Amino acid sequence: SKKADELRQSGNTADADKFDNLAKIALQRQISEESEAKAIAPTIATQTEVVDKLKDGLNGMKQKLEQLKAKRSELLARAKTAEAQVKVHDAVRSIDVLDPTSELGRFEDKVRRQEALAAGKQELAASSIDAQFEALEDVGQLTEVEARLAALKTGGSSQGAIGS
């Protein structure tokens, strides 16, 4: 438009009209683009919202991923701790089995059982010996009774047998 004004002042109206026409075409394109921009504005706003939501979703997913990684690390640590505790427990249990004092305790229990068994057998033997002696005494008494009865029957003196 300025160039057209300059050309008009210099007397070149044909070229000035060309530049004015070019300016009009440029202004028409500008108006067209502005109306197109106004028409697209809601779409751009919607897409901006979608992009913001996608960004928020991505950030949420990143946070969730970090949480999952932290949880996995925690679970791995807990698993290793549990495994170590099992190993320590097994080691302690194996140490107790091989502990000389526990072996000595078991040996002492075994000796006590053997002593109790021997004492029980001795009691059984003593009671059977006593029973045998009592039986012999009963036999001796029965023999004496039989001897006196025989003496009575033969007319012998029962006094001699009683006095003896």
Give pTM, 2 decimals.
0.37
Tens-place pLDDT, residues 12-56 = 888 888 888 888 999 999 999 999 999 999 999 999 999 999 999
Cα–chain-centroid distance for residue 40? 60
d(CA 68, CA 76): 12
- Say what the pLDDT of residue 11 is: 86
- Say what the pLDDT of residue 163 is: 47
CA atoms within 13 A on the CB side of 86: 6
Mean pLDDT of the chain: 83
**Residue 155: left if φ>0, alpha if ψ -120 to 50, beta else—which one?**
left
